[in-house]
Chains A and B, each alone.
Chain A
Amino acid sequence: MPTPIIKIDAISKSFGTFKVLDGLSMQVMPGEKLALIGPSGSGKTTILRILMTLERIDGGHIQIDGEQLYHMERNGQLLPADERHLTRMRQKIGMVFQLFNLFPHKCVMDNVTLAPMLTKGTPRAAAEKRAMELLEMVGMADKAKSMPAQLSGGQKQRVAIARALALSPKIMLFDEVTSALDPELVEEVMNVMRKLAAETDMTMLLVTHEMGFAHDFADRVLFFDRGRIVEEGKPDEIFRNPKQERTQGFLKKIIAAGHRV
């Protein structure tokens, strides 16, 4: 049996007095495509943000690719990770945000090449060649010289995907990447991600409210509520035959709100 690429062990996280995660454990296998669903405030986005080191955990352990994320092993002891350790660990992980977070003062090409050139010392020519391939893949090659302000939301998000891919992470995190898009632009971003899921062996975690998309995209679906995994399973099991009452209630509400399953 292969070892998990992500191993989350009893982590907890509070914002003020609100306990978002309370002793959560889960594992992700290499290459697995995971969809995290559940009501707002259930902690699914927080998990992605913790994996990207945008939030710190209050307790517990996380292993990425066999190494501790927030701890360093020194002489058999676990010490809190320093910035250098985190920098090394972040190389394994990429993230795409709900609001794209493109750099508005840089053109599409520079948005994609900046991080490889700065963090990996990739020469400009090589970085641009790779960027063109990625932009080609997300269908944005003809906009390489455009500024983000000139793009639609869907185009921005496709650039953001290319930008995250440029660092060749082993794990990609997608945080509600279609939530901020106009309805007619959602599909173009989903298509890129479907293609990505089919063509690469990257491990992917997707937080989404698009149940139909979660169904197509994922090998495994996790339903979160109040910081816990209430139910998990293959997409068909979760969406057609949810066993837990809370999952059923959630899906019913989502369908009533007009989302496609």
Chain B
Amino acid sequence: MTQWSGYFGLILQGALVTIELTLMGSVLALFMAFLAGMGRLSRFFVLRALATAYIEFFRGTSIFVQLFWAYFVLPFIGISLTPLQAGVLALGLNVGAYAAEVVRGAIQSIGREQYEACTALNLGRWQGMRHIILPQALLVMLPTFGNNAIELLKATAVVSLISLTDLTFQAQVVRAQTGNTLVPFTTILIIYFVLALLISWGVRSLERRMARGLDGVRA
């Protein structure tokens, strides 16, 4: 029994790496989501085209290939990333592409009458966006952002392939050293599930807090 405690320590270290990746990846994804999502609604063709190209490319290619590209191909053009940097980059850009469509959809779901009120009150484009449209759209985005964050958490498993010591990597180490598959993989299964639950709860309570006193924003 004593040997297991050491292995659990290993898996917990892996959990920390997974959490770190999820948090950093989510921050990048969120940033890209707003950048590209609002870019797609821009008045300027170049911004729209750039945003669309980014979204279609990163949705249309595999996260696995993107990760390998970031880690193994970028060095050939002189950009060497650590496994963590490559992981965050691939995860953030990939999930950000999905979330960008969420941002765009949510902004477009806000009724025309809110935009017209902004015009009638002489708010500038950005003022209206910042104070009127985005705060309402954010509430529409949140549930799907929760989905995206869970997708991102699960996708972190692929970084074990570029030697990052996340949960999945550590489970493989434990399996190799003990010959036991059931214990390490059941353990990380549970840990992934608990982490996903935490994200769900977090997003839901955020939603409740933001929805207070509102009507008409969500049917």
Closest B residue by C-beta to A93: B120
The verdict on A59 contacting chain B, using a C-beta distance below 8 Å, is no
Query: Contacts of A148 on B, CB cut-off 8 Å?
Result: 215-216
Query: Contacts of A53 on B, CB cut-off 8 Å?
Result: 119
Give, as a whole number of angstroms, the nearest-CB distance from B136 to chain A. 6
Contact count band on A: 20 to 34
How many of chain B's residues have a CB under 8 angstroms from any CB in A?
Answer: 21
Partner of B122, one of A54, A91, A104: A91
A94-102, A130-138, A251-259 - interface stretch: A94-102
Knowing A53-B119, A103-B117, A103-B132, the reply to whether A87 touches B213 (Cβ < 8 A) is no
Closest B residue by C-beta to A53: B119
Cα A118 to Cα B125 in complex, Å, equals: 12
Binary CB contact string for chain B from 109 to 129 against chain A (1 if under 8 A, 0 otherwise): 000011011011111100100
The verdict on B217 contacting chain A, using a C-beta distance below 8 Å, is yes
Knowing A118-B127, A149-B213, the reply to whether A101 touches B116 (Cβ < 8 A) is yes
A97 to B131, Cβ gap below 8 A? Answer: no
Partner of A97, one of B117, B124, B127: B117
A149 to B214, Cβ gap below 8 A? Answer: yes
The verdict on B75 contacting chain A, using a C-beta distance below 8 Å, is no
Tally of A-B Cβ pairs under 8 angstroms: 71
The verdict on B202 contacting chain A, using a C-beta distance below 8 Å, is no
Cα A164 to Cα B136 in complex, Å, equals: 21
Cα A230 to Cα B122 in complex, Å, equals: 33
Cα A104 to Cα B139 in complex, Å, equals: 12
Give, as a whole number of angstroms, the nearest-CB distance from B31 to chain A. 23
Query: Contacts of B136 on A, CB cut-off 8 Å?
Result: 104-105
Cα A91 to Cα B121 in complex, Å, equals: 8
Query: Contacts of B217 on A, CB cut-off 8 Å?
Result: 104-105
Give, as a whole number of angstroms, the nearest-CB distance from A145 to chain B. 10
* B-side interface mostly: helix
Cα A164 to Cα B122 in complex, Å, equals: 10
Query: Contacts of A75 on B, CB cut-off 8 Å?
Result: none
Cα A90 to Cα B125 in complex, Å, equals: 14
Query: Contacts of A101 on B, CB cut-off 8 Å?
Result: 113-114, 116-117, 120
Cα A118 to Cα B131 in complex, Å, equals: 10
Query: Contacts of A164 on B, CB cut-off 8 Å?
Result: 120-121
Cα A248 to Cα B122 in complex, Å, equals: 39
B119 to A90, Cβ gap below 8 A? Answer: yes
The verdict on A115 contacting chain B, using a C-beta distance below 8 Å, is yes
The verdict on A150 contacting chain B, using a C-beta distance below 8 Å, is yes
Cα A171 to Cα B121 in complex, Å, equals: 13
The verdict on A127 contacting chain B, using a C-beta distance below 8 Å, is no
The verdict on B135 contacting chain A, using a C-beta distance below 8 Å, is yes
Query: Contacts of B213 on A, CB cut-off 8 Å?
Result: 105, 107, 147, 149-150
Give, as a whole number of angstroms, the nearest-CB distance from A128 to chain B. 16
A115 to B214, Cβ gap below 8 A? Answer: no
Knowing A115-B121, A118-B127, the reply to whether A104 touches B216 (Cβ < 8 A) is yes
B121 to A104, Cβ gap below 8 A? Answer: no
Cα A54 to Cα B114 in complex, Å, equals: 12
Give, as a whole number of angstroms, the nearest-CB distance from A50 to chain B. 12
The verdict on A52 contacting chain B, using a C-beta distance below 8 Å, is yes
B119 to A114, Cβ gap below 8 A? Answer: no
Query: Contacts of B139 on A, CB cut-off 8 Å?
Result: 105
A149 to B122, Cβ gap below 8 A? Answer: no
Knowing A104-B217, A149-B213, the reply to whether A115 touches B123 (Cβ < 8 A) is yes
Partner of A114, one of B114, B121, B124, B215: B121
Chain B 179-219 interface residues, beta-carbon cutoff 8 Å to A: 213-217
Query: Contacts of B135 on A, CB cut-off 8 Å?
Result: 105
Cα A150 to Cα B132 in complex, Å, equals: 19
The verdict on A238 contacting chain B, using a C-beta distance below 8 Å, is no
Query: Contacts of A87 on B, CB cut-off 8 Å?
Result: 122, 124
Subset of 11 A-B contacts with CB under 8 Å: A53-B119, A54-B120, A87-B122, A94-B120, A103-B132, A148-B216, A149-B214, A149-B215, A149-B216, A164-B120, A167-B121
Interface residue ranges, B against A (CB under 8 Å): 113-114, 116-117, 119-124, 127, 131-132, 135-136, 139, 213-217
The 10 closest A-B pairs by CB, nearest first: A149-B215, A115-B121, A147-B213, A101-B117, A95-B120, A90-B122, A101-B113, A104-B216, A119-B122, A105-B135
